Structure 1
């Protein structure tokens, strides 16, 4: 099903690759305002292409296009001479643990499949404004500045041996990125090995783990190019038919999804803590707890269980009364209804707080999404929020089940960790961008 192709990647020059920590950046949807401002101070940092800003009277996307052309002309970015599969390993530790994990994957072009084709599967909805921004940036640059994250499944770990061999000869590596991870990039340019990657994915569906807005931006850009070319005006092999994706094995033990908690900036109607607890008791067993720090451990592995913190040490364990689950009336699949976060959004945001329906909840400014426990508690104690609802992480099995059901999860359900970086690898969408004397080896129909 999934067609992947090697690419002639664009990378920073050898001198800059030796100092790669100085030019990589977080992805556009996770980089904070403070991080952006710091990174903008380096005129060669990749943030200028992935999250461009206006320069004087020049709009952001045009400024990025001018900068890209200047970098290419000056040799800041250089294109590799041969097409390849780019191996990307991330070595990391989870917060509070000492064991080093390694998420293994590779970057390649994947055909930009429409959702209706059932090859790339999603689990989140997108915001049109963000999709349009990514599509417009692609149109301005004709250059992909970061890879989205996709998942294939290979219980036999067939490709890991090839990747393990390649990573011994890295192109570049970070000392430690903003997440505390060490990122290592290598390349496989042997035609036979590349065909093994293509064959391994040819019969697979790909789950889009991270980067829904960037992927839909590629779809929109491809559709615009098709429309401009007209019937018979393109072959389907042009680079703009493809999308840069980082692919990892869903069967790996080192694939991690972290929880994303819900912090309520306000309570509708200025609801008091006592009134909130009374309404929650209609649907949940509410148990006071001595220590808010213990809440994650108390709910770990327990179905439909949550922590609640109201400030000044007021902590509670919530567990849905099993008999009320049948009241969950959203028009979605059983796989989605079974999720903890669906339970939280339906019974807390809709039934208790009156924010009715997923669409209204996605746009309601009263909820924020926070990953760290300490930050959740501190925001409530500082008076920046009224309540924090702590959640368990979504499992990989749940992600796969929801994707194959054809439905989507509530907003901000997954946080795959660590995030990939922008700036390690770029690819061009210009016609002939990946052409080489070896191109014919990779264009045969996939098995």
Structure 2
């Protein structure tokens, strides 16, 4: 049972929110150093809460947050609500405008073994520790993670479509995406959301580190609170929900760059690949990504002077020795990490996650530029993962290789915050929620 609750969001006061675009920021794990420096110049930008500065960043965020509350910079909404969040965007090379529809609310922070919320990636401990410290100190969620539910009948979209006609915020973000926020206060509609989601399984699309921090914090609080009833604020997590059945759910590929690998030799790499791959030189490296598009187990290899399309021979899949179920074994990314990165490049699978020789880039043009300018020895270009593959892997109980998915666009920080501090989390007596 997936238990969700409406939230009494904290939002910027009406004077500041007139320029809401000046207050929003990218998520902590995608914001660049250049963006941070610019955003820090605005004393009220959400970056100060989501990615605080200083030697003790969580303490700094806590003190700033308390000052914002006391000074009325942010105010808590009077009524619990479901917040509707639409993102309008275009993809490169396509005239179509997409609209990813979703809503934001609290969800119970379920342990992974409860199989209510499913992950498709593992977390990196150091990144989780940073998020735990921030959550523990502030008891505040500065941005929602991204969860997926499945509904072929689009039951909730009619409520969201009606609400979005009267938006409370609208801005264009750093991605060139138009972000629109609206609110649902109607009790009947909120109950419909609660009832509808309760029998769903949720796939965590983005925000594994932030969700993991909620799990750790909840466990710590339960150890301290022997008389906890289960409805305390520390039991809940802020999430943005979207429907997997929508055609507007986009997943971008994440390419691999190889850097500073000792004894790197292009000819030797190609020779090692010949046993398992069909290899074709590509004269125009600028269209390498197009030559592999939509083809299973096909990859582009970019070197400084040459480019190749390589495609795994169908019979070679039986040579894959990693002990994964078929849902994971047959993924393009598993094939890439085993046959190319381990067998051809010599980086063992157990070392790849922390390898200093592997980096990631979602931009094909950036990969091309870095290889040409000797900032990388080679790039491995891959196709995107499908949502069906994500579902299959999640339900198998396994996870995907690192950096498998990049759900686009990313949500932004600053539209709203949620508190799990008990006196701010509890619904007012006049609310049925």
Determine if the TM-score, normalized by the shorter chain, exceeds 0.5.
yes
Q: How does 1:232-243 map to 2 (within 5 A)?
A: 232=227, 234-243=228-237
Q: How does 1:407-446 map to 2 (within 5 A)?
A: 407-437=398-428, 441-442=432-433
Q: How does 1:44-443 map to 2 (within 5 A)?
A: 44-54=44-54, 59-174=56-171, 176-229=172-225, 231-232=226-227, 234-267=228-261, 269-312=262-305, 314-357=306-349, 359-437=350-428, 441-442=432-433
Return the offset for 1:34: 1.1
State whether residues 134 and 214 of structure 1, in contact with CA within 8 Å, keep that contact through their aligned partners in structure 2. yes
Return the offset for 1:440: 5.9
State whether residues 80 and 431 of structure 2, in contact with CA within 8 Å, keep that contact through their aligned partners in structure 1. no
Rounded Cα–Cα distance in structure 1 between residues aligned with 2:337 and 2:235: 37
Return the offset for 1:186: 0.7
CA-based RMSD:
1.1
Counterpart of 1:445 in structure 2 is: none
State whether residues 233 and 426 of structure 2, in contact with CA within 8 Å, keep that contact through their aligned partners in structure 1. no
Gaps in structure 2 of 5+ consecutive residues = none
1:267-302 Cα offsets, whole Å, 9 max, x none, are 3x3221111111121221111011112212211111
Return the offset for 1:438: 5.5
Rounded Cα–Cα distance in structure 2 between residues aligned with 1:289 and 1:435: 61
Rounded Cα–Cα distance in structure 1 between residues aligned with 2:263 and 2:71: 58
Gaps in structure 1 of 5+ consecutive residues = 443-447
TM-score between both structures, scaled by the size of structure 2: 0.98
| Number of positions where the alignment pairs a residue of Structure 1 with one of Structure 2 | 433
Counterpart of 2:7 in structure 1 is: 7
Helix, strand or coil: the match of 2:122?
A: coil
User: Which runs of at least 4 in structure 1 moved beyond 2 Å after TM superposition?
Assistant: 434-442
Per mean C-alpha deviation after superposition, the further-off stretch among 344-353 and 384-393 is 344-353
State whether residues 83 and 434 of structure 1, in contact with CA within 8 Å, keep that contact through their aligned partners in structure 2. no
Rounded Cα–Cα distance in structure 1 between residues aligned with 2:28 and 2:69: 22
TM-score between both structures, scaled by the size of structure 1: 0.95
Rounded Cα–Cα distance in structure 2 between residues aligned with 1:331 and 1:146: 36
- Residues 1:235 and 1:439: Cα distance change in structure 2 (over 3 Å): farther
Rounded Cα–Cα distance in structure 2 between residues aligned with 1:118 and 1:437: 32
